Structure 1
Amino acid sequence: MHLRRRGGVYHWRRKLPHSVASKLGKWELVRSLNTSDRQVANTRAARLVIASEKVYNLAMTDKKITSEQINGIACKWLKEALEQDEEVRLHLPVSQAAYAECEPDDDPVDVDVEQIKLYQSETKEALSRNDIRYSKSLVKEVLASEDFQVDDKSDEDKILSRVMLRAVSEFYRIIKARRLGDYTVGNIDPLFAEVLGYGSSGRNSDSGQSQIKLSELSGKFIEAQIRDGKWQPISKRNNVPKLNKFIEMVGDIPADNVTRNMIRDYRDALDDMGLKSSTIGQRFKVVAAMYNWAKREGYTSIDNPLKGLAPRDDCF
């Protein structure tokens, strides 16, 4: 470290060790001290020495976060968040809501479920739009607790932010079911398969039966088609109503519980509505595509229940 005078003004300069320089992308630190007075320059230089030591320490202790660590952070957060939620509700008075204000005449469970649905909707909206701002504060919190330094403009930060959105989405889905007294619900997002000890597709590993309902499966299928570039906006406008109508007619039941007889009833009901065979076939193709995708992705265990049951001209 030394002072150098340029044009009557002192400058501070310090060479960087190779190990630090390789991380910072520069071989020395140079700063103007904005003074021509030697004594003032020495005082300011001493402050810069202290500041530069902090830079060194940060550069040497910076840990580049890996995909495995990102997933591990999200899984750990989800597990702890579910445990904390369980602890809160363990001591919750019968007449009190856990997640929202509750009026004396309101059912606290209904109030909580509606509030959780709102949170779910916001999280899914953020995921669908890749709006990682929704999870930024949470990301800062978990990074601090795990002692990681991640540039908030880096790809790693973006990936972690999105993974945390997925964790939050799982959290709301699970606590909504538990608030209704349903503890059989498993993980749907395969990333968090180990958190509750369920299979990667959301199936209970003991029963082998899918827990994912048609509405949830439909949402994941739609998102995947858009993200994978298989659906254009017009495809979404045309196909989403077909999926919604199928769920309305069959019922929002677990996807693995749909039987071939139920599909026959669905087909006959469409026929009774006076729809052409080609129109019914188009509806079948969309639902069949969802089931084929779900089987590949591990969300369902049954074979496509629509196979061979479309109107004769549209069998597949």
Structure 2
Amino acid sequence: MFAGSIPALVTPFRNGSFDEMAFRNLVDWQIESGSSALVPCGTTGEASTLSNAEHHRVIEVCIEQTAGRVPVIVGCGSNDTKNALLHMNFSKKAGASAALCVAPYYNKPSQAGLIAHFSYLADHCDLPIVLYNVPGRTVTDIAPETVCELANRYPDQIIGIKDASEDLSRVADHRMGISKEFCQLSGNDELALPFNAAGGKGCISVTANVAPQLCAEFQHACADNDLLKARQLNDRLYPLHYAMFEDSSPAPVKYALSRVREGFSDEVRLPLCSASDHARRAVDAALDHAGLL
């Protein structure tokens, strides 16, 4: 099972194309700094603007560069069930540890539709699935009852959830409603401390892109039940968690990386724009507060 600080990696671009060397360097830095797993091609990776060929190349590069040092949980979600399966099959062949599958966005499926979607994926590919619930982006909310039904129906395949619902009561709902070990990972950096206290095991993190060592130390403190240390680290990171969303993500995190990693471009793809001056000031202040500048 997965645990600890797991960065949802950005996808570096330069002159409109995937910057493979910058990505390889980012992967190495993350692992060397204590990240416990990696997530390429998620929301922060701008997967919605990647062609399938680009999506698969990012997966290949991440798994190749990781070289088995940590697990790779690949973003495979889509609002097209067959395309999500395409990503899962490719990821399995490439050597991924699991697939991160977001609730289908835009279509607004019912709970029955969600069960049918994730059941289809589990029935047609045996790569383990981590559900991804982020109703603020997808509109669709994977209800706790649906999570429990899927996890209990597919105990060996649907193994966890990245929960960005911002509803901390769901940690207990899932823990008490699922009759097996089930990995719960926060999808909100700023809620990771209470999420872990309720029974979570870590965070799929935006902030870890920029502060991987601090985020890893924070998660280790939580796992060790060292509340004082966890609280102190959380206080250092807290302004940065919010600065990452002062503008449309991942523009602020890419700007932050350009501040802490020499030569890293803050380029994003349309319809996103580079971080605003307001967001840049917030990021700079938060990086300074965390002691990263």
Which structure has more relative contact order (CA 8 Å, sep 6+)? It is: 2
TM tier, shorter chain? under 0.3
Greater percentage in strand: 2
Structure with max Cα Rg: 1
Q: TM-score, normalised by structure 2?
A: 0.23
